[in-house]
Amino acid sequence: MGIHSGPVSGVTDVNDRSNIAGAGINVAQRVMDCGDAGHILLSKRAADDLAQDTWWHPQLHDLGECEVKHGVKVQVVSLWNDMVGNSQTPSKLRAQKKRSRRRQWALLGSAAILLGVAMGSFLLWHSAHKPALPSQRSVAVLPFENLSEDKENAYFAGGVQDEILNNLAKVADMKVISRTSVMKYKSGSERNLREIAKTLGVSHVVEGSVQRAGGRIRVVAQLIDARNDAHVWAEHYDRDFADIFAIQSEIAQRIADH
């Protein structure tokens, strides 16, 4: 039985017979289609009308939405007590709820798969773009500072840097940053060695200064572990200018050793 309150009017059908029609009949038919034998089903509107009297409250049991033909959904309430009605959930509603649960699990499964794919893609991307830790045997030789009063002697400082770079580059398995890459870190401005090393991807940095006075030259060099700003080695050389090449080779060897 399907119950709904709404307009109903008398009509004459094509066979010239009297009949009734209207929204009240149509909705009641849809509500009835949701039930099985023995069910007394009410539309939400009809149930709300009955609910005005508290005597009906214990006998009204909300079943939720039921989908009928053309995809229309109606809110259905079951009327039953110990004497009338059917206390069981209509089979149509049970089937719809089962399909709904399957759809929900399917959606959850799809969402889980998409999440897994997204996480896998992110981890692969992160792994591919994760900056590699600098090798222990990697060094950048920063431009040496020219401390001579005659600024034309700056090329001597550049020569010291070049020779040290060339000598270190000959050491097997030693990663040495090119002169072009380090020239922007010229002396004269405050250097953040840790940031410079991180940018260049090295563990160690060499810096120093060159000063020439007459036929004598002083070279100061230091090797720094940029990961903790610790001095690994430092030395200064006061020699005749004729010994400049020997100084360069010695500095490069000492750096490689350390």
Boundary (domain end) residue, out of 75, 98, 121: 98
CA 88/CA 35 separation, integer angstroms: 10
Residue 152 is part of a domain; what is its CATH number?
A: 3.40.50.10610
Compute the average pLDDT of residues 53-73: 87
Can you give the CATH number for the domain in which 74 is found? Answer: 3.30.70.1230
- Confirm whether 123 is domain-assigned: no
Q: Which DSSP helix (H) or strand (E) runs through 47?
A: helix 44-50
| pLDDT, position 81 | 92
Instruction: Examine residue 231 and state whether it is found in any structural domain, yes or no.
Output: yes
Same domain, 94 and 176: no
pLDDT single digits (tens) 239-256? 887 777 787 778 777 777
Residue 225 domain-assigned (yes or no): yes
Written as one string, the DSSP assignment of 92-119 is HHHHHHHHHHHHHHHHHHHHHHHHHHHH
DSSP 8-state symbol, 1: -
Whether 242 is in a domain gets the answer yes
pTM: 0.47
Number of domains in the chain: 2
In a domain, 129, yes or no: no
Alpha-carbon distance 119 to 129, whole Å?
15
**In the beta sheet, which residues pair with residue 225?**
204, 230
Residue pLDDT, tens place only, 126-185: 766 655 556 678 899 998 888 877 766 777 778 778 888 888 888 878 888 988 888 888
Q: Do 90 and 23 share a structural domain?
A: yes
What per-residue confidence (pLDDT) applies to 3?
A: 92
Asked if residue 223 and residue 173 are part of one domain, the reply reads: yes
**pLDDT one-digit tens code per residue, 19-51:** 887 778 888 888 999 999 999 999 998 999 898
**Residues spanned by the domain of 8:** 2-98
Is 196 contained in some domain? yes
Whether 63 and 165 share a structural domain: no
| Co-location of 189 and 253 in the same domain | yes
**pLDDT score for 132:** 55
How many helices (H) does the chain have, and how many strands (E)? Answer: 7, 12
Residue 75 included in any domain: yes
**Residue 2: predicted pLDDT:** 92
In a domain, 107, yes or no: no
* pLDDT the model gives residue 125: 78
Taking the chain, what is the end-to-end CA distance rounded to the nearest angstrom?
Answer: 96
Which residues, other chains included, contact 206 with Cβ-Cβ below 8 Å and sequence gap of 6+?
A: 139, 140, 141, 142, 164, 221, 222, 223, 224, 255
Comparing C-alpha atoms, which of 41, 46, 47 is closest to residue 24? 46
pLDDT (tens digit per residue) in 185-222: 876 667 788 888 888 989 999 988 888 877 888 888 89
